Structure 1
């Protein structure tokens, strides 16, 4: 009987080794070539900045280049779908943010399922979402903005239709009774550019790309959506401090792999990513861009994605937001 157990154990080991050889992957050989990190937004935005900071150090840890591939469009769906369908054993990864949660609620037909088709590798950062106005808008705080909205219709830029900032802006408008029309863009960079140029009255988006314009006076911050004030902008109140009973909201960023990624590869990526996130230089570069390092486990990151997916589904349903 003992001999039979040993034989079965050896057969199982041989079978696992054969499977690894068939896929051409193992913890010892991966990666053998450059890795592609798909960023489903334009260059220059918060997601792109965070991805480049992370990719540079990840490449150092893995001993191979990690190449950024910007694929904007459809509120992140174009890039996400491409990664979900990738079958190259961990050489194509996704740098996502909370669009992965909001899109499940906003689009009637999706060609991928966030919770089924991806596995979390590493949370990289989070950032406060902020409400800001162009200097030509005569409102210096939320109370003045509320008063102004009673006399004229205001519009606000967001990083995209169905994005977290878009949905948050919608719920904010409903809760506060502000007449605000959303103007979606293909990423935070073009949204910020038009807000600075005065093509829109306001912007609800991630804080990082706007900090230089706050300092130069080209945009005026009114409130942050996070639970506490930002260290980068300590003088700007939270929405609750400004008098609005809004549920706190931040945008997160992180790396995900296709669900079919072999476990040895996934383990290798997670191990290397953990070393990246423990690097104080990486943390410093993220903070200089207005981002807070995401120091959580892959399991905790996955739980956050599931929680956000459920949250935005409730928001879309309760606010009766039209789905596409």
Structure 2
């Protein structure tokens, strides 16, 4: 009797519920994106995909937890841009995103926008740079906290523009935007979903979007690249990674399910409400993207002087 080739050990995957770990509290953009995906993956895979929140240390606790999990596809991480910044920001991190994980798929990108208080006498990025250079040390920019992607976007601008502006960290984007509207701070780079309603209400003035392409819901708003910063391409993003050594066929099955979900009209509509743009990447493409993000943020973090023990 001739036996056929043995099927992969993971061919029946998944045979039990899958955990999608989020390194932040419930309700944030990372968590909301994970819950949209988990619903779609539950339907596609035939097993419950359960979101598990493990906040702390800027998402490092969750990242370390997933790194140590069994590489069988049943414990996944909803990774965000924060983790690529943390590789340099934290003096002692217990993981390496490039070597300790298998990339699965980039899910979405969320544009940031450069906004100013309307009383700041500028209407373009060039005018902001000129005004900052004419008033060294007088302008300040807000962020949702030291070391966040919003903070680092401001530091990147400061570095590329060669301007002397001061960073004012807040405990979250909401209080930062409140003080920006009130005139306590002059400008900031914020996630489009939280800042754009204030722009539409006339409480803030938008100067540019930070992604390479213009935002669909703000087609008249120029990009930073169009505004004289050809290498400026910054966004918040979220994707899925697995512990190193996860079977390749499991990674491919998850990748296919995620990409299919992101192409569904109702999913795209829900993501659009977050200001998120669906991605479509192979595991290898996402791995290269993570590598470029880690390398790209390292000099910005070092130039900012920000560090966490």
Asked if these proteins are the same fold (TM beyond 0.5), I'd say: yes
Match of 1:57 in 2: 40
Deviation of 1:304 (Å): 1.0
- The alpha-carbon distance between structure 1 residues 182 and 76, as it changes in their structure 2 partners (threshold 3 A), is farther
SS of alignment partner, residue 114 of structure 1: coil
Deviation of 1:160 (Å): 4.2
TM-score, structure 1 length as denominator? 0.80
Q: Which moved more, 1:133-142 or 1:293-302?
A: 133-142
- Measure, in 2, the Cα distance between the counterparts of 1:296 and 1:40: 22
Match of 2:280 in 1: 295
How far does the alpha carbon of each residue in 1:190-233 deviate from its partner, in whole angstroms, 9 at most, with x for none?
65566456664332132233222222233322111222321111
1:78 to 58, 61, 79: 61
Q: In 2, are the aligned partners of 1:75 and 1:99 still within 8 Å (CA)?
A: yes
Match of 2:140 in 1: 155
Are residue 310 (structure 1) and residue 299 (structure 2) matched? no
- The alpha-carbon distance between structure 1 residues 161 and 84, as it changes in their structure 2 partners (threshold 3 A), is farther
Q: In 2, are the aligned partners of 1:83 and 1:93 still within 8 Å (CA)?
A: yes
- The alpha-carbon distance between structure 1 residues 32 and 75, as it changes in their structure 2 partners (threshold 3 A), is same
Deviation of 1:303 (Å): 1.2
Are residue 213 (structure 1) and residue 198 (structure 2) matched? yes
Count of equivalent residues: 306
SS of alignment partner, residue 76 of structure 1: helix
Gaps of 5+ in 2: none
Q: In 1, are the aligned partners of 2:71 and 2:245 still within 8 Å (CA)?
A: no
Matches within 5 A, 1:4-153: 13=6, 20=9, 26-33=10-17, 35-87=18-70, 89-149=72-132, 150-151=134-135, 153=138
Are residue 271 (structure 1) and residue 256 (structure 2) matched? yes
- The alpha-carbon distance between structure 1 residues 50 and 194, as it changes in their structure 2 partners (threshold 3 A), is farther
SS of alignment partner, residue 227 of structure 1: coil
- The alpha-carbon distance between structure 1 residues 132 and 104, as it changes in their structure 2 partners (threshold 3 A), is same
Deviation of 1:67 (Å): 2.9
Deviation of 1:169 (Å): 1.6
RMSD (CA atoms): 3.2
Q: In 1, are the aligned partners of 2:71 and 2:243 still within 8 Å (CA)?
A: no
More helix by share: 1
- Measure, in 1, the Cα distance between the counterparts of 2:173 and 2:33: 13
Q: In 2, are the aligned partners of 1:43 and 1:189 still within 8 Å (CA)?
A: no
SS of alignment partner, residue 98 of structure 2: helix
Match of 2:151 in 1: 166
Q: Which moved more, 1:54-63 or 1:136-145?
A: 136-145
Deviation of 1:104 (Å): 1.7
- The alpha-carbon distance between structure 1 residues 155 and 114, as it changes in their structure 2 partners (threshold 3 A), is same
- Measure, in 2, the Cα distance between the counterparts of 1:62 and 1:187: 35
SS of alignment partner, residue 222 of structure 1: strand
Q: In 2, are the aligned partners of 1:225 and 1:239 still within 8 Å (CA)?
A: yes
- Measure, in 2, the Cα distance between the counterparts of 1:137 and 1:43: 35
